[in-house]
A and B are shown apart, each in its own frame.
Chain A
Amino acid sequence: MIDVSHVSFRYPADSEPALSDVSIRVEPGEVVAVVGPNGSGKSTLGRLIKGLLLPARGTIVVDGLDTRMANRDVRRTVGLVFQNPNSQIVNAVVQDEVAFGPENVGLPPDEIRRRVREALRAVELEGRELDECHSMSMAAKQRIALASVLAMEPRYLILDEPTAWIEPGGRWPLLSEVLDWKDRTGGGVVLITHRMDEAQLATRVYGLLHGRLEAAGSPAEVLHVDAIRTRLGLDVPETYALGEDLQRAGLPVEPGAPVEALAEAIWRS
C-alpha cells in the first residue's frame, strides 16, 4: 500500500507550499485518480511518492518502506511516468531507452530483451525499436516514457497525465493496457489527469486545490458533485453522463466505461 500521511512540501525557491497536509492511500490492485487545476500540486505529489522529493512534514510509506529511510527501495517499487516525456527520455534510440532502467539494475540480457519486447508491445510500438526518440511525435514519446517504466516492473505506477499527447483513438487502448497490467500484477496505479472520463475509471478520486486536498471519495462523490466540480474547475465526465443516459433508457451498459466498452455492451445485447 502507498500511505501518504499529512504531507506538506515547499520547493526551496517558493514562498507558498506546493502541498499542505495531504493524505492519500493507494491499495495494491487499485487505480486512484488525482485531479485539480494547473499548479495544484499533482505532479509534486507524484514526485514525493516516487521519493524524488522528500516531505517537509508527514510521511510517505510504500509497502512498509519510508521514502526517507529506504529511498532506493522505494524508487524501485514505484515507477513514475513524467508529465513531459521530453524530460524523461535520455537515450537516442527507442530500444536503448526502454532497456536503460533494466540494464542499470544489472538484469541478464535475456531478461532485458524480454522486458523491452513486452513493454513495447504494451504501448503499441513494436517495430520501432531502432527509431530515434527525438524525431518521434509527442504521442510516440509519451508511449516510450510509459514503456521504459513498465520495463522496470514496478509494484506501483504513477502516471502523470499519461494521455495528454496521445491521439483520441489511442487513449483507451493505452489505459486498458495499464488496467491489464494492474490486474495481472496486482499493482497499484496513481493516475494524474485532466480528463474526467479517465478519472472515472478510478476506485477513488482525490481533488487538489492550491496544494490542499479539497475532495476525496468515489468518482461519484467527487466528479458528479456540481459544487466540487466548480470549485476545482473540473469538467463533467462526458462519457459517464452518456452511459448513464443509455442505462436509464434500458440499455445494458455500465456507466463509467469508456465509449468502446459502451459500444460493445450495446452491440452484444
Chain B
Amino acid sequence: MKVMVCLKQVPHQDAKLDINSDGTWIQEDNIKFEINSYDTYALEEALRIKDADADTEVVVVSIGPDRVTQALRTALGMGADRAVHVNDAEAFGSDALCVAKVLAAVAKAESPDLIFTGLMTDDGNSSAVPPMLAELIDVPSATGVLHTEAANGSLKVERELEGGAIEVVELPKPCLASIQTGANQVRYASLKGIMQAKKKPIDVKTAADLGVSDVASKATIDKVYSPPKNATADILSGSTDEIVSGLMGKIKELGVL
C-alpha cells in the first residue's frame, strides 16, 4: 500500500511574529518554522499503517522554498520512506485551488491508495485544500478525521461533528482523509531515524516538471495587520456589593441578558 501525506512547513507556533515592511505578510526572515501541527497527526496516522504492515510506503509531499527540506527530513526521520519537494516560487503561498492543483499532479504521478492531509494549516486556516485536492483527482474524501482503519479495499474513518458527535464513514480506496489534531500521539524523530533519513531520497520538482502551469495565486493579500488595541474595559471598584450592583447595571444597560 502507498500512503501520500501532504505537509506544510509553517511558522513555529511559539515564534514571535512581526508583520513585514509592506504589510502584506509576516516577516519570515530569521524566524523558526515547523511542520503544521495538523499535518503531524496525518503523518503519524500514515506511519501507524506502516508499523502494522511493513510493505506500506509513506511518501511525504510539501510545497515551499529551500527551508522546507528541514520539515521533510524531520518527516523522513520519523519514518516516512521518501519525499517530494515542490520547490516552486509561484506555487508556494499560492491560493488553495492552485496548491490543490499542484498536489493533484503529484498524486497523479504517485497514484497512492490513501492520501492523508491535516484538517487545516496553522497559518492559512482555510481547510480548503484537502477537499479540492480530492475533487481534482476524483476520489472520495472525509474531513476532520479522528481515527482511521485501513481495510483491504476501503478506509473506515471516524469524523468529528459539531457537539462532540462522531460520524463513521467508509470510503473506497483510493481516497483522502484530512486529519484532526489529537487523532493520535505523534512520535518524535529519533536520532537513529534522522541518521537513516540522510539516505532517503527527496525528489525536488517544479510545477512545470509536474506538468502544471498557471499556479500563481489568483487572490492577492491586500493587507495583514494586528487589530488595534482599544481600551474599552471598565474596571469596577468599591465594595463587593457595589461591584456586583455595578456589574448588574452594566449587564442591563448593554441588554446582553
Q: Do A and B bind each other?
A: no
